[in-house]
């Protein structure tokens, strides 16, 4: 792995000199490359982060949002003082800072100083902070544009928010995970200015331009690399809908007002959605909408059929052979825990509001057991199984190994798989188990895999 990493850098004298002059850095590098394959891949993609190995404090502490934001704001002011705060400079600044922080977390992770949950928390917090900075910097550049978008934006703060879904929403982000996000703007405070007739700037013009700019800033591959792959398909109406949605339209869609409303799988996704960046007032309003939707009284049998049928569709889409156990998708895998939790939240939040909090699957299983919704021990054992399955999946991905267990290797998860299947049976009593397929009953049209996972 060291040779693989070294070959592209033979023309970079500064890195070779550092390794020659700093034997402790070379020692750290060799140890890191020996622990897992993914660090080697990351170093080849972002060789500049090797400088972090020279910092003796590298393995100390955790990601600190405040320090990260302060550092980026200081760099931004320095670019402005130099008259060089152009988009290219800012894009590269964001990427270098983000790559360095990911690498620090990666080193702490493979050295065993972080649990899977801690690594995911830090990566999710880093993504939140990076989205926050990108919002502010991109908005300031939008204000400099001529035309309707620029006129509307000049001198104003944005009434805009990013809503996190999927792994980012549940704070289970991994290395290289896509970001499932939705863009909302507040049309109640953004009234169109009609003073210029048909050419008057309007909120939707400004925020569509802003959303497009954000997507570019987040995904564009520069000489320094890229930030994230993002998926916005969880917005109302999916890829056929507008890139940005007014808050009122989002609220109506989720609360099922009108003829165009959310499917059950979208409400499943909402169980682990959260505001992650943007205007703070929209965080409160989003959470009010989210809680109102989750607290809706539903027909438990109809909901059970829809959730189980969706689980069966995912099983068929990610089918493993009878000789393999997929840590996520096989019967008794992580997806069964996630679907069981989502069903409990959607079916029982109206009389158990503590289930509405976005605190993760393990904590929600514990709360469900404490509330008497699960037999004693079932929630705790399934939570422990989920933690162990996540740990195995995480380690496999770090070493770029398969996340399916074959033959005798499955013995390591027999107890955990049994705990998950016990949870499934108690939650979906009367429905088919994941091993035998879904019970009868049609589900609504399934959305992106991230919606349910």
Q: What is the CATH number of the domain that holds 239?
A: 3.30.460.10
Number of domains within the chain: 3
Q: Which residue has the higher pLDDT, 316 or 70?
A: 70
| Assigned domain for 276 exists | yes
Residues 362, 232 share a domain: no
- 400 in any annotated domain: yes
Band of pLDDT at residue 446, cut at 50, 70 and 90: very low
Q: For the segment 386-402, what is each residue's pLDDT rounded down to a tens digit?
A: 999 999 999 999 999 99
CATH number of the domain bearing residue 354? 1.20.120.330
- 448 occurs within a structural domain: yes
Segments forming the whole domain that contains residue 351: 300-452
In a domain, 135, yes or no: yes
Answer with the one of 232, 261, 294 that is the final residue of a domain.
Answer: 294
Same domain membership, residue 312 and residue 237: no
Tens of pLDDT, residue by residue over 175-192, are 989 999 999 998 766 665
Confidence of residue 436 (pLDDT cuts 50, 70, 90): very low
Q: Is residue 108 part of a domain?
A: no
* Residue 84 in domain: no
- Same domain? 357 vs 373: yes
Confidence class of residue 27 from pLDDT cuts 50, 70 and 90?
Answer: confident
Is residue 237 domain-shared with residue 342, that is, in the same domain?
no
Question: Are residues 442 and 317 part of one domain?
Answer: yes
Query: Residue 439: pLDDT band by 50, 70, 90 thresholds?
Result: very low
Same domain? 212 vs 279: yes
Single residue among 240, 261, 294 that ends a domain in this structure: 294
Of 294, 309, 331, the residue that ends a domain is 294
Residues 288 and 432 in one domain: no
Q: Are residues 192 and 309 in the same domain?
A: no
312 and 262 within one domain: no
Q: What is the mean pLDDT of the chain?
A: 87
Supply the pLDDT for residue 192: 58
Lowest-pLDDT range, 74-78, 167-171, 184-188?
184-188
Answer yes or no: do 289 and 305 share one domain.
no
Is residue 142 included in any domain, yes or no?
Answer: yes
* 109-113, 124-128, 332-336: least confident range: 109-113
Does residue 11 or residue 375 have the better pLDDT? 375
Residues 165, 244, single domain; the answer is yes
Do both 272 and 153 map to the same domain?
yes
- Split at pLDDT 50, 70, 90, the class of 243 is very high
Q: Is residue 107 part of a domain?
A: no
Token pair recorded at residue 12: 């970079």
């Amino acid at each position: 792995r060291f040779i693989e990493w070294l070959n592209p850098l033979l023309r970079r004298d500064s890195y070779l000199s550092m390794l020659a002059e700093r034997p402790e850095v070379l020692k750290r590098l060799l140890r890191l490359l020996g622990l897992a394959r993914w660090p080697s891949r990351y170093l080849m993609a972002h060789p500049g982060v090797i400088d972090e190995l020279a910092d003796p404090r590298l393995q100390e502490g955790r990601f600190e949002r405040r320090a990260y934001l302060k550092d980026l704001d200081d760099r931004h002011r320095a670019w402005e003082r130099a008259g060089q705060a152009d988009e290219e400079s800012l894009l590269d600044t964001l990427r270098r800072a983000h790559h360095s922080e990911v690498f620090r977390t990666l080193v702490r992770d493979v050295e065993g100083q972080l649990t899977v949950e801690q690594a995911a928390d830090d990566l999710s917090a880093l993504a939140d902070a990076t989205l926050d900075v990108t919002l502010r910097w991109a908005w300031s550049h939008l204000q400099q544009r001529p035309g309707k978008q620029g006129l509307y934006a000049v001198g104003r703060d944005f009434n805009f928010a990013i809503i996190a879904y999927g792994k980012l929403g549940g704070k289970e982000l991994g290395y290289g995970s896509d970001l499932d996000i939705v863009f909302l703007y507040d049309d109640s405070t953004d009234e169109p200015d009609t003073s210029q007739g048909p050419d008057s700037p309007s909120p939707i013009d400004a925020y569509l331009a802003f959303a497009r700019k954000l997507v570019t800033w987040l995904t564009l591959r520069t000489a320094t690399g890229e930030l994230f792959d993002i998926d916005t398909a969880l917005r109302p109406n999916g890829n056929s809908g507008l890139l940005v949605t007014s808050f009122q339209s989002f609220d109506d869609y989720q609360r099922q007002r009108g003829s165009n409303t959310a499917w059950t799988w979208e409400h499943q996704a909402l169980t682990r959605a959260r505001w992650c960046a943007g205007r703070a007032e929209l965080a409160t309003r989003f959470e009010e909408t989210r809680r109102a939707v989750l607290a809706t009284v539903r027909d438990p049998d109809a909901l059970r059929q829809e959730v189980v049928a969706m689980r069966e569709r995912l099983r068929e889409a990610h089918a493993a052979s009878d000789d393999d156990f997929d840590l996520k998708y096989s019967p008794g895998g992580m997806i069964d825990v996630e679907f069981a939790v989502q069903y409990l939240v959607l079916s029982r939040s109206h009389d158990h509001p503590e289930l509405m909090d976005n605190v993760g699957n393990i904590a929600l299983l514990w709360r469900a057991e404490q509330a008497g919704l699960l037999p004693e021990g079932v929630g705790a054992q399934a939570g422990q199984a989920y933690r162990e399955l996540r740990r195995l999946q995480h380690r496999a991905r770090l070493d770029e190994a398969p996340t399916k267990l074959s033959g005798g290797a499955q013995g390591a998860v027999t107890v955990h798989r049994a705990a998950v299947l016990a949870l499934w049976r108690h939650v979906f009593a009367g429905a088919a188990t994941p091993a035998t397929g879904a019970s009868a009953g049609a589900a609504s049209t399934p959305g992106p895999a991230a919606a349910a996972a």
